[in-house]
Amino acid sequence: MKLYYVHDPMCSWCWGFRPIYLQLVKKLPKQIEFIRLLGGLAPDSDEPMSEKTKQYVIYNWQQIQKEIPDTQFNYDFWQVCAPRRSTYPACRAVIAARQQNILYDESMTYAIQKAYYLEARNPSNTDTLIELADEIGCNKQQFEKDLSAGFINDMLEQELSLARTLKLNSFPGFLLLDNQQHKHISPDYHNVEKILMKINQGFT
């Protein structure tokens, strides 16, 4: 049995979900294979974020803080950075880090989240991503080389395609899969036991 988890390192709801996510990973039954998938919120773009999109993202941050009060955001980001609606670079950075060590998948994701939401650093920028890779212990030169490599982009496209095939279109999202049976599981932002109950019920 497999449990797919789709996310984007620059998805603000995934950031709000992180405390429950960490509890879930610890409590998952051992017989379930847990697979992280990058969903890719926004493709590559060098265009500055429009004012409308900027206000939409800020509104989302505010809604998350109402729904999940312990979630922290540093709104200085919107003054000190030049935001772009582009999360694919951050997704490729997770894959490039993962190439060096599977554990870097999670640690790079968290580094991007922390940089974006708490430190007012822009993970849409290549130089930020290289700095973060260095900070988590990646080989900086290898990471920089891989980040722009075609095979890394191909791997991202494969994950995006799989997420679409599994109809994992909202982030964070879960799909329980066993042979031909599948079950989408909605995240609960407050209670990990509710998610575990749905998983343990299987397909009944």
Below-50 pLDDT ranges, the chain: none
Rg of the chain taking only CA atoms, in angstroms: 17
Q: How high is the pLDDT of residue 71? A: 98
pTM for this entry: 0.96
Question: Domains in the chain, start-ordered, CATH in brackets?
Answer: 2-201 (3.40.30.10)
Q: How high is the pLDDT of residue 176? A: 96
Q: Which residues, in sequence order, are bridge partners of residue 35?
A: 4
Q: How high is the pLDDT of residue 204? A: 67
CB 7 within 8 A of CB 39: yes
Angstrom CA distances, 180 to 2, 147, 169, 186, 199, stand at: 12, 35, 20, 20, 16
